Amino acid sequence: MTVLLFIILILTEVVFGIMGLSRTILKKEWTVKRLIVNVIEMALYFFMILFPGIDFSFRFKALFLLLVIRVVFGILIYFICRKSEANKRKLNIVLSTVLSVILVVMSLLPAFVFADYKGRPLTGEFEVAESEAILIDSSRIETFEDDGSFREIPVHFYYPSEINEIEPNSLPLVIFSHGAFGYYQSNVSTFMELASHGYVVASLDHPYHAFFTRDSSGKTIIVNPDFFSTALAVGNNDDSMSEEELFEITSKWMELREADMNFVINMLKAGDIDDAWFYDDADQETIVAIINSIDTTKIGLMGHSLGGATAVSVGRRDDISAVIDLDGTMLGEQIGVDNGYPVINEEIYTTPILSINNENHNNECLNAREMGYNYTNNVILDNAVTGYSTYFRGSEHMNFTDLPLFSPFLAKMLGTGSVDPKRCIDQVNEIVVDFMDCYLKGEGSFSIEECY
């Protein structure tokens, strides 16, 4: 329906322009017809809302605003030109038509870039609610700014909507870290599924590593350009970087992210809402209820890509009971470089850990073993007391997020495979719940297939 709407609007503008060029036309006549066309286009949009695929969501917000502005503007021009006897210039008609086509194309871009994604079906017994807060770490200065401000970590909570009726200290906590230039909603279907099964999920934004977020002043913080370009180069295996250079770069990333996650864990365990918390006053009661509901003896960590690496490193804490790495190279476990080869932390990994990889990543792990290369993920899983690993056939990196469902266009640019994205993320979510149920709730035993 989006394509049909697009074609009709473009054809309307082109045909209207051609008709205006076909003969000499007065300005007042042109403005009347222009206004009529604008009203017809708006009426068409409202009519097509009755059909699936067209709505009032953010995907069509720009188009809706364009149509409203054009009608209002058309009315104003009509009153200005209604008595004019001058002819409408041909050049102005051409420019008006070209501009109209460009505006329609630009306004409908979000509808083509983003899908009509409303989440995945939930299998748990609870309805799910969301809240958010920002935790301000006064022990760290924000290194991406030069104003001396403290590091801020936005935290987005997903939890059973009956949170005020739930017994205190009864819900396990899962903390999530997004990938490089990701954002807190990257795996919202996973958060919702966990919350529907009786978990509190805290999804973090890592400012300047996140695609965008907001600070306590309401300012929008976008991804740092240097981090963005460097992360792309590292992700594309830039051969111009030495092992030493890669280690220096990634160590700084991991230091920042691990400090963010450690701070959030400590604040949630403390259980006090103090000056470090920033939130809307209307949410205070809910935030308190969320914090009070958490069983801080049952904490799981997970993340995607660079966030998975963060979860693995922080997961060595004694108070962490489960860790899931979604297709992340465990960069934080590299502790140095020796003669051009990575030095990996070979201490026993005592926390139950699950690694879920895409097919190519799995092949890289196998090739590293065959070549005798000290690949971080292999070393950590080999040294884990309880370690599991699996992969998805036909998957690529972004298949372990909701992006292929939210924006197939963007996901394809970043890497999606032939696997069905709905089936893949549903299976991932089922595995995540089973793993957390086993190691946080003590329910059942966990097993995993070699691949899916």
pLDDT digit string (tens) for 297-347? 999 999 999 999 999 999 999 999 999 999 999 999 999 998 888 999 999
In a domain, 122, yes or no: no
pLDDT in tens, 148-191: 999 999 999 999 999 999 999 999 999 999 999 898 999 999 99
Number of separate domains in the chain:
2
- For residue 180, the enclosing domain spans 128-441
Shared-domain flag, residues 108 and 204: no
Residue 32 CA, chain-centre distance (Å), reads 46
On whether both 164 and 213 belong to a single domain, the answer is yes
Pair (204, 64) in one structural domain: no
Q: Which residue has the higher pLDDT, 86 or 129?
A: 129
Structure tokens at 315: 């997961």
Residue 341 and residue 249 share a domain: yes
pLDDT tens for residues 236-249? 776 778 889 899 99
SS3 assignment, position 156: strand
How many Å apart are CA 59 and CA 75, to the nearest integer?
27
Q: What is the pLDDT, as a whole number, of residue 415?
A: 86
DSSP summary character for residue 300: E
Q: Which percentage of the chain shows pLDDT scores above 70?
A: 100
Task: Judge whether 225 lies within some domain.
Answer: yes
Average of per-residue pLDDT values in the chain: 92
Q: Are 77 and 16 in contact (CB under 8 A)?
A: no
What does the pLDDT look like over 182-234, one tens digit per residue? 989 999 999 999 999 999 999 999 999 999 999 999 999 999 999 999 998 88
Short-list 236, 387, 262, CA closest to 325: 387
Inside any domain, residue 168: yes
- pLDDT of res. 187: 96
> How far are the Cα atoms of 36, 72, 191, 205, 343 from residue 157, in angstroms, in the given order?
48, 41, 9, 12, 37
* Pair (393, 278) in one structural domain: yes
Please check whether residues 302 and 388 belong to one and the same domain: yes
Residues 137 and 168 in one domain: yes
